[in-house]
Chains A and B, each alone.
Chain A
Amino acid sequence: MADDLYKEHILDHAQNPRNFGPPTLALRKGEMILRVREANSSCGDLIEMYVTVKDKKEVVDVRFKGVGCAISTAAASLLTEAMKNEKWRIGNAKKFTDEDMVEMMGIEISPTRMKCVLLPLRALKKALAENEKLKIDPPAPEALEGHGNG
């Protein structure tokens, strides 16, 4: 059971989390950092997530901090890695469901550990809600080029 859960890739992500620590890249024009905190009240685990968005649409960078169990830390690492490797836009993040998150873990999750797995995604969804509320200056007309139906 524990051997099924703590597979090598989970332990690897838990012990060497990717995208860990506050953002380091300097912001460019139209970019904003959405900083959110989400806690798991049953165990006191806390994640702080930093999503750098450009023009409210593109995810430029995503990083996280916080303490958590191996499962929630691996979940945060896997989620942020996918967002960057697959060059997610806000639309991708919005469509990403709890089921997708469980599938991404690649292990069987018991009901008691579901909260651990979903903590980073809850933080991401909170960041998306912040993004909706963002008021940024409309980009200059030339900046809109190349953004499709923008």
Chain B
Amino acid sequence: MDIQAIRADFPILERKIHDKSLTYLDNAATSQKPRQVIQAIVEYYENHNANVHRGIHVLGDESTRLYGEARQAVAKFVGADDPLELVFVRNTTEGINLVAFSWGGENIKSGDVIVTSEMEHHSNIVPWQELAKRVGARVEYVRVHPETGELDLDHLGTLLKLRPKLVALTHASNFLGTINDVQGIAHLCKRHNAECKMLVDGAQGVPQMPVDVQKLGVDFYAFSGHKMYGPMGIGGLWVRKSILEKMGPFMTGGGTINEVSLTGTTFGELPDRFDAGTPNVAGAVGLKAACDYLSEIGMQNIREHEKKIINYAIEQLRNLAFVKIFGPTNLENRGALVAFTVKGVHAHDVAQVLDSEGIAVRSGHHCTMPMHMKLGVAGTTRASFGIYNTLEEVDQLVEGLQKVKNVFKV
């Protein structure tokens, strides 16, 4: 992997922040976009823009074709058998909500159990709490070992005895960095109860490792385009075809229908049933460009590169006595991010001082309030790495933290 060549693909990395080079370590929030993605969107709007379907003119045909090609490319990127299994959504959150409303509304009944975990992003907790409230079901949370940052699989085993209808877990934690063995867990769930469905929050999974939804053996897999070097406002929800075929629409209106009369409506086939209103065609085209870009580099190469960076970052941060890091100690199961606290300094203040050095990190609870509460911290600072980050940037982070120490005299 030629990191310098990759860096040259990202125009924003040339930005100066407070007269310093940008060190972008906020990739788990959103990644930057390569020129190839930006160009694909510009090219679409400059040359092909028209609404999809039913436009019997050249631009309408081109736009419809590009949208279809984007669906194929994105579906293939995550290992789907059939592009019809891929629903375009705005982001992971919308994907999970779609499942909660459409599948959950039909299949989760009063007294049913939904299992998720303590380490989840709010987007994989709140939709289930709300669904449970609507239908009278209940949500159980797999415990997380506070020391290792890993799911307590014995506890999962206990919860599976409640015969949950759905197990919804993250592929990789956006706070602890833990990579969950979702394949093994899916296998375990199905062994307990073949009818149990499994959903994976893939927001942090797809950007940093090869994902093959068929191999994982799960039923739903949701992800965001903007965290995988694609544009904001587009993402994917993969649903196993046998399930998706039976699911009713999430949002209704133009595009979703088969036939409408004033007395009622029949809904269309896949994928139209889930494409309410004018879709984000330019976003889909941009997301395809991101998939092409990542495929060219190779997801396994990206994973190896990021592993090197995170291992180095953890080694360096461990040397700082005033820094406490969270998450798995077993680096094999760890994604490319690390959350930490600086003794006596609030996370916002840490981020502010790092910003003054041109280093972009995130601070706060990272939409994982329950896990922060469990660990007894109000907020943490998080550095998250991507394909363009270098070992030198880890050194800059460490230098920045020395500055935090000096400013606050800790």
Enumerate chain A interface residues (CB-CB to B < 8 A).
1-3, 5-6, 11, 15, 42-45, 67-71, 113, 116
Contact = CB atoms under 8 A, between A and B. Distances in A.
Contacts, number: 53
A3 B18 CA distance: 12
B352 A45 contact: no
A70 B350 CA distance: 10
Contact of B353 (A2, A15, A44): A2
B138 interface: no
A66 B390 CA distance: 39
Interface in B363-389: 363-365, 369, 372, 378-379
Contacts of A1: 18, 352, 355-356
Given A44-B372, A44-B379, A2 B352 contact: yes
A116 B364 CA distance: 12
B408 interface: yes
A69 B378 CA distance: 11
Closest 9 CB pairs of A and B: A2-B356, A69-B346, A1-B356, A69-B348, A2-B353, A43-B364, A44-B378, A70-B349, A1-B18
B365 A113 contact: no
Given A69-B346, A71-B349, A113-B352, A43 B408 contact: no
A8 to B, nearest CB: 11
A119 to B, nearest CB: 11
B364 A70 contact: no
Contact of A43 (B353, B356, B363, B407): B363
B349 A43 contact: no
A98 to B, nearest CB: 19
Interface residues of B, number: 20
Nearest to B404: A2
**Interface secondary structure of B, over-half rule:** helix
A113 B348 CA distance: 9
Contact of B365 (A6, A44, A116): A44
Interface of B: 18, 345-349, 352-353, 355-356, 363-365, 369, 372, 378-379, 403, 407-408
12 contacts: A2-B355, A6-B408, A43-B379, A44-B364, A44-B369, A44-B378, A45-B378, A67-B346, A69-B349, A71-B348, A113-B352, A116-B348
A58 B59 CA distance: 72
Given A43-B363, A43-B379, A5 B347 contact: no
Given A11-B408, A43-B347, A67-B378, A5 B364 contact: no
Contacts of A67: 346, 378
Given A11-B408, A69-B348, A113-B348, A6 B378 contact: no
Nearest to A5: B352
A113 B351 CA distance: 11
Contacts of A70: 345-346, 349, 408
Contacts of A71: 348-349
Nearest to A115: B348
B378 to A, nearest CB: 5
Contacts of B355: 1-2
Given A2-B353, A44-B372, A45-B378, A69 B347 contact: yes
A44 B363 CA distance: 11
